[in-house]
C-alpha cells in the first residue's frame, strides 16, 4: 500500500511539475506574442501616418518633389527617431563612399585637413606618393581658396567637397605657406587614394613609434609590417599612439590585439538577440616587449578597446587623458536601393574591465595638453609633445636621439 502511495505521489509531483513548466512556457509565449502584437500595431500606425503624409504631399504641396531627396529624408527621419547616438542613414552615394573608405581608399588628392582657427583649411597630413605629395603640397599649408572661391567664405564642408570632386578631374586651389608672403597655386589631379592607417618610425634611440589613425581593412597588414620593420631595426619597445582615433572596425582592432596579447579573451560582445555573450580570443603567440599606449578624449570605440585590452593584460602603460567612452557596436545593413542604415546592435567588453560606454577608459598616467598644444597638435614636434614624452619616459627612455 505504501509503495502504491509513493508511486501515486510521484505521478502527482510529475504532473504538477509538467503543469508548472507548461504554465511558465505558456506565460513566456503569451508575453512574446503580446510584444510581437504590440510591435505590429506600432508598425501599422507608423505606416498609416507615412501614407497620410505622402498622400497630402502629392495632393496639396505647391512645389516640385525631388523623389530621391524625399526618400532619403524619410529614411533619415526614421533612423533619427531612435535613441541611438550612432545610428545613421547612408544615401546611395554616402554608402558607396563609406565602402571605399573602409577599404582604405578614397577619391581625392591625398591630404587630410582640419578647419583652421582663422576659418581656412589647414593641411595636417599628406599621404606619401599621392598626387598632392608629388605636386609639392606640405603639412602646414593653409588652403585659402578652391576653384577661385575663398574657403573661409564658403565654409569648411563645402570647401572639402570642392577639393574631393570626381576621379580624374583636377582640383585647383591656392595655399598660404607659413613664413612665405606669396601664395602658391596648385592644380592636382584627383585619383583613388589608398590611405595608410598606420605610420611608424624609430624615436628616442631605440623605441618603435606606431601611430594608428583608424582600424580599417588595411590596418592589420600595415601594423604587422610596421612591427616587423621596427623589430628588424632593433627597437627595444613600442609606443602606440591612438589619439584622435575615433572610428574603426572593432574586429580589426581584435585582430591587431591578437598579435600582441597572450592566449585568452580579447573581448566579449553582447547582442540584443543573444542570451550568451560572444567571446573573441587570442592565440598563444604574443609580442613580448615593453609597450606604452597614448590616448586622449578623442580616442573612441575600437581604439579604446585596443588601449584597454593591453592595460587589462598588464602589457602596456596607458598615458594621456580619459577616452571618449563608446562601447557599442554598429552594424551596417545594405538596403535594396543600394543605400544603407547603421544601427547599434551590441555592447562590447574588454578582456577584464567593464563596458566603458559613456565613461571612457582612464589612463595609468594622466598627462593633459594645454589649449595651445591642442591647437597645434598636428604641427607639434615629437620632442615637444608632453604625452609622448611621458610615454617614452615610462619605457625608460628620453628624447635626444632618433632614427
Cell of 70: 524625399
Q: What angle do CA 358, 359, 364 make, to 5 degrees?
A: 150
| Type and span of the H or E element at 67 | helix 67-80
For residue range 229-253, list pLDDT tens digits in order. Answer: 999 999 999 999 999 999 899 999 9
What is the distance between the alpha carbons of residues 193 and 82, in angstroms, rounded to a whole number?
A: 35
Residue 355: pLDDT over 60: yes
Looking at 82-86, 221-225, 237-241, 367-371, which range is the least confident one?
82-86
Q: What is the mean pLDDT of residues 18-41?
A: 53
At 180 the three-state DSSP class reads coil
What is residue 187's DSSP assignment? E
Q: Kindly report the average pLDDT of the chain as a whole number.
A: 88
What is the distance between the alpha carbons of residues 51 and 274, in angstroms, rounded to a whole number?
A: 34
Q: Looking at residue 44, what is its pLDDT?
A: 83
162 close to 140: Cβ distance less than 8 angstroms: no
Q: Is the dihedral of CA 165, 168, 174, 176 positive or negative?
A: positive
For residue range 89-108, list pLDDT tens digits in order. Answer: 999 988 988 887 777 666 78
| Structural domains of the chain ordered from first start | 105-194 (2.30.42.10), 198-394 (3.90.226.10)
Where does the pLDDT of residue 4 fall: very low under 50, low under 70, confident under 90, or very high at 90 and above?
Answer: low
Q: Nearest CA to 123 among 167, 200, 171, 178?
A: 178
Cell of 251: 574586429
Q: Looking at residue 330, what is its pLDDT?
A: 93
For residue range 130-167, list pLDDT tens digits in order. Answer: 999 999 999 999 999 999 999 999 999 889 888 987 88
Residue 319: pLDDT over 50: yes
Q: What is the mean pLDDT of residues 370-379?
A: 90
| DSSP one-letter string for 285-333 | ----S-EEEEE-TT--THHHHHHHHHHHTT--EEEES------EEEEEE
Residue in this structure with the C-alpha cell 584627383, named with its chain if needed: 190
At 334 the three-state DSSP class reads strand
Cβ atoms within 10 Å, residue 80: 11
Kindly list the distances between the CA atom of residue 119 and the CA atoms of 122, 156, 356, in Å, as whole numbers in the listed order: 9, 8, 35
Q: What is the mean pLDDT of residues 195-220?
A: 95
Residue in this structure with the C-alpha cell 627595444, named with its chain if needed: 236
Q: What is the mean pLDDT of residues 365-375?
A: 94
Q: Looking at residue 29, what is its pLDDT?
A: 46
Q: What is the value of pTM for the model shown?
A: 0.79
User: Which residues make Cβ contacts (< 8 Å) with residue 259, sequence separation at least 6?
Assistant: 220, 223, 224, 227, 285, 286, 287
- Of 274 and 386, more confident: 386
Q: Looking at residue 273, what is its pLDDT?
A: 81
- Of 40 and 205, more confident: 205
Cell of 17: 511539475
Q: Looking at residue 385, what is its pLDDT?
A: 97
What is the distance between the alpha carbons of residues 369 and 383, in angstroms, rounded to a whole number?
A: 14
Q: What is the mean pLDDT of residues 353-375?
A: 95
| Phi, psi values for residue 327, rounded to 5° | -115, 30
Looking at 110-119, 180-189, 235-244, 317-326, which range is the least confident one?
110-119
Residue 18: pLDDT over 50: no
Q: What is the mean pLDDT of residues 201-227?
A: 96
What is the distance between the alpha carbons of residues 142 and 192, in angstroms, rounded to a whole number?
A: 23
Where does the pLDDT of residue 34 fall: very low under 50, low under 70, confident under 90, or very high at 90 and above?
Answer: low
What is the distance between the alpha carbons of residues 116 and 144, in angstroms, rounded to a whole number?
A: 10
Top-confidence range, 15-19, 58-62, 154-158, 319-323:
319-323
Amino acid at each position: 500500500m505504501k509503495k502504491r502511495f509513493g508511486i501515486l505521489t510521484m505521478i502527482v509531483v510529475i504532473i504538477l511539475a509538467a503543469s508548472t513548466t507548461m504554465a511558465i512556457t505558456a506565460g513566456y509565449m503569451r508575453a512574446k506574442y503580446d510584444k510581437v502584437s504590440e510591435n505590429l500595431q506600432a508598425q501599422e500606425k507608423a505606416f498609416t501616418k507615412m501614407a497620410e503624409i505622402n498622400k497630402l504631399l502629392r495632393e496639396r504641396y505647391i512645389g516640385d518633389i525631388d523623389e530621391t531627396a524625399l526618400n532619403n529624408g524619410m529614411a533619415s527621419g526614421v533612423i533619427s527617431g531612435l535613441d541611438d547616438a550612432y545610428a545613421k542613414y547612408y544615401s546611395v552615394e554616402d554608402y558607396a563612399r563609406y565602402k571605399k573608405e573602409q577599404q582604405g581608399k578614397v577619391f581625392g588628392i591625398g591630404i587630410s585637413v582640419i578647419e583652421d582657427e582663422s576659418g581656412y583649411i589647414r593641411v595636417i597630413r599628406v599621404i606619401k606618393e599621392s598626387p598632392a605629395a608629388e605636386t609639392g603640397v606640405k603639412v602646414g599649408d593653409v588652403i585659402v581658396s578652391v576653384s577661385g572661391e575663398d574657403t573661409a567664405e564658403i565654409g569648411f564642408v563645402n570647401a572639402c567637397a570642392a577639393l574631393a570632386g570626381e576621379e580624374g578631374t583636377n582640383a585647383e586651389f591656392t595655399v598660404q605657406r607659413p613664413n612665405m608672403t606669396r601664395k602658391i597655386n596648385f592644380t592636382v589631379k584627383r585619383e583613388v587614394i589608398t590611405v595608410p592607417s598606420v605610420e611608424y618610425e624609430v624615436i628616442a634611440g631605440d623605441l618603435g613609434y606606431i601611430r594608428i589613425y583608424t582600424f580599417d581593412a588595411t590596418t592589420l597588414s600595415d601594423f604587422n609590417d610596421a612591427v616587423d620593420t621596427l623589430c628588424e631595426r632593433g627597437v627595444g619597445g613600442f609606443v602606440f599612439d591612438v589619439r584622435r582615433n575615433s572610428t574603426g572596425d572593432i574586429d580589426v582592432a581584435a585582430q591587431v590585439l591578437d598579435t600582441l596579447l597572450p592566449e585568452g579573451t580579447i573581448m566579449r560582445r553582447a547582442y540584443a538577440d543573444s542570451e550568451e555573450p560572444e567571446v573573441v580570443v587570442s592565440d598563444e603567440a604574443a609580442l613580448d616587449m615593453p609597450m606604452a599606449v597614448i590616448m586622449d578624449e578623442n580616442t573612441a570605440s575600437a581604439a579604446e578597446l585596443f588601449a584597454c585590452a593591453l592595460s587589462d593584460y598588464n602589457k602596456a602603460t596607458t598615458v594621456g587623458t580619459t577616452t571618449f567612452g563608446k562601447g557599442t557596436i554598429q552594424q551596417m545593413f545594405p538596403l535594396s536601393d543600394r543605400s544603407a542604415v547603421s544601427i547599434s546592435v551590441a555592447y562590447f567588453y574588454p578582456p577584464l574591465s567593464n563596458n566603458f560606454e559613456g565613461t571612457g577608459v582612464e589612463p595609468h598616467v594622466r598627462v593633459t595638453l594645454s589649449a595651445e598644444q591642442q591647437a597645434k597638435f598636428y604641427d607639434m614636434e615629437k620632442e615637444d609633445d608632453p604625452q609622448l614624452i611621458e610615454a617614452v619616459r615610462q619605457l625608460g627612455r628620453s628624447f635626444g636621439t632618433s632614427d
